[in-house]
A = this chain, B = another copy of it.
Amino acid sequence: MASHPLAGLLGKLNHVAIATPDLKKSSDFYKNLGAKVSEAVPQKEHGVYTVFVELPNSKIELLHPFGEKSPIQAFLNKNKDGGMHHICIEVRDINEAVSAVKDKGIRTLGEKPKIGAHGKPVMFLHPKDCGGVLFELEQE
């Protein structure tokens, strides 16, 4: 079954992350369109607040800076209204996936996977090696 998409490295689109300068306003935007929207959760170790918007097949993750050195502050300085920040794709085994992408010449941001907002190991890939897109790989 080598042609099945799951046979490849890329699994489900877990979420699209959107950085926002106003978490309440952004949460209300999606609530107002009838979506199920979570409460804001501070992710101290990641320097962000996260809010999840549930869609029938995937999620939107809203990100807002937490603390002084948030990794999304520079993005918001450039994109004052907010905007799409990254795409998260599921992989079966994060260590195998990291090894595979490195073999293909794709750089990772950091050496080892970290525990992400869902409590699962994640790794970000270098946008310069991914067509200008910041990809997060998350273990299923």
Contact = CB atoms under 8 A, between A and B. Distances in A.
Contact of A87 (B16, B104, B131): B16
Q: Which 6 A-B pairs rank lowest in CB-CB distance, beginning with the nearest? A: A8-B34, A81-B132, A82-B132, A83-B132, A84-B84, A13-B58
Contacts of A101: 33
Interface residues of A, number: 46
B35 A10 contact: yes
B55 A12 contact: yes
Contact of A20 (B5, B22, B131): B131
Interface of A: 3, 5-13, 16, 18, 20, 22, 25-26, 29-30, 32-36, 54-58, 60, 79-84, 87, 89, 100-101, 104, 127-128, 130-133
Contacts of A32: 104
Contact of A34 (B9, B56, B58, B83): B9
A133 B57 contact: no
B13 A55 contact: yes
A64 to B, nearest CB: 11
Most chain B Cβ neighbours within 10 Å, of A11, A30, A84: A84
A94 to B, nearest CB: 14
B79 A132 contact: yes
A104 B9 CA distance: 41
